[in-house]
Structure 1
């Protein structure tokens, strides 16, 4: 494939491998209605479905199965739920603590880690996090939910992660971190740490990932004092979204 042919391929932001439904989308007769403009547009433009086609459906927080398209209009789609018999994929045994990334990277990171099976996410303020990031519209509950939803659709999952915001580093380390470490292995990723990130662990883990530029020395010392182990991914300096994906893949 030539470079020109690669450039000519239209890119889609998200592949909806699962049509995720809320219980409120299902009427008293058992029919599922999709009225969200994004999902309706996706059915038209990406799936190219017609009445009678079967697609994969999932109920938020519940089972996965199949549904038959009854009708598809400009603003809504109606499905007959045929069966819901499969459980969602197993979650990763990890609580991810992520120094708040810049807004555009936050959106991608939430989608990626949700697709990988992370169910507990804490967004943390650290010294190198710009204070303006906390004013971003991407932190609105509805926007966060949208990105988590996209990650679930991508991975054919139905269980939304829990997202917590921690706007102050010191109270988090002193008050919240000891509780989070109970029964968990604590790891934080930072360039220059003596130990390489372990591979294929089965432990329930608390994983902390710093901002671009890493943690400052004070933060490193406090994490070590709390009982966390510092690890590295080698000599390369990675973007946060790349580092998080690499860490999760290597650990689990």
Structure 2
């Protein structure tokens, strides 16, 4: 945790109360004591410093100063075929940490139906992973996360408008065009399951202007491909 990310209901005027996972981290990892300063931020708000004023058995009280904006988002809209649940947690943390603010989790022919029944897709569970990503990256701006269980209607009815005004790309291992580097404008990037989208899905994406690009001859796991593609398009 590189940032103590607070929810608005934890704050009263110039003080904040920390408990649960965050309190345990202060004690066991940071070994915090009264008087110590920690980096803080408010979800969808500014960042700053917190001075620990009191440490109880279950919570800490901080005096806070919020005077810094969060880092800028990268101009990327990400369309991601729903990974298997355990991989989703790690992948969502990475996506959030890298500054993506518009995420669509979509269905695909190679996505198992059981994935959509996972408790990891509950709003609270998804929010938890994004908070972990924000804390890692010292960011406060929560991504907008959307679930789309029907691929064809999503592509035909929504995706064209979502991608409007951006460079539309789909990561696909069977193409001759390499993924561009150092983009200086907005990008909408679609990433399929391991092995990529099936030919019909690629054709559907192509019909609304998506260009297929690759990362090389190796087939990567989703949790590796996602940060590799993002860092290629928008290097730090």
Identify whether the pair has TM-score above 0.5, normalized to the shorter chain.
Answer: yes
Question: Which residue is equivalent to 2:156?
Answer: 174
Question: Which residue is equivalent to 1:56?
Answer: 39
Residue by residue, what CA displacement relative to the aligned partner does 1:59-92 show, whole Å, maximum 9, x if unpaired? 11111111100122231111001x2111100001
Determine the C-alpha separation between the residues in 2 that align with 1:142 and 1:96: 21
Question: Which residue is equivalent to 2:142?
Answer: 160
Of 179, 189, 211, the match for 2:171 = 189
Of 146, 169, 172, the match for 2:128 = 146
Of 43, 52, 63, the match for 1:69 = 52
1:184 Cα deviation after fit? 1.1
Of 11, 32, 44, the match for 2:27 = 44
Determine the C-alpha separation between the residues in 2 that align with 1:33 and 1:90: 27
Question: Which residue is equivalent to 2:71?
Answer: 89
- Structure 1, unmatched stretches of 5+, are 1-15
1:152 Cα deviation after fit? 0.5
Question: Which residue is equivalent to 2:63?
Answer: 80
Contact 1:40 1:74 in 2 (8 A): no
Runs of 4+ in 1 over 3 A off after TM superposition: none
Contact 2:173 2:195 in 1 (8 A): no
Contact 2:181 2:233 in 1 (8 A): yes
Residue by residue, what CA displacement relative to the aligned partner does 1:131-179 show, whole Å, maximum 9, x if unpaired? 0000000100000000000000000000100000000110011001111
Question: Which residue is equivalent to 1:20?
Answer: 5
Question: Secondary structure in 2 aligned to 1:196?
Answer: coil
CA RMSD of aligned residues (A): 0.8
Determine the C-alpha separation between the residues in 2 that align with 1:143 and 1:93: 25
Determine the C-alpha separation between the residues in 2 that align with 1:179 and 1:172: 11
TM-score of the superposition, structure 1-length normalised?
0.91
TM-score of the superposition, structure 2-length normalised?
0.97
Residue by residue, what CA displacement relative to the aligned partner does 1:197-218 show, whole Å, maximum 9, x if unpaired? 0000011111000001211110
Of 226, 232, 236, the match for 1:250 = 232
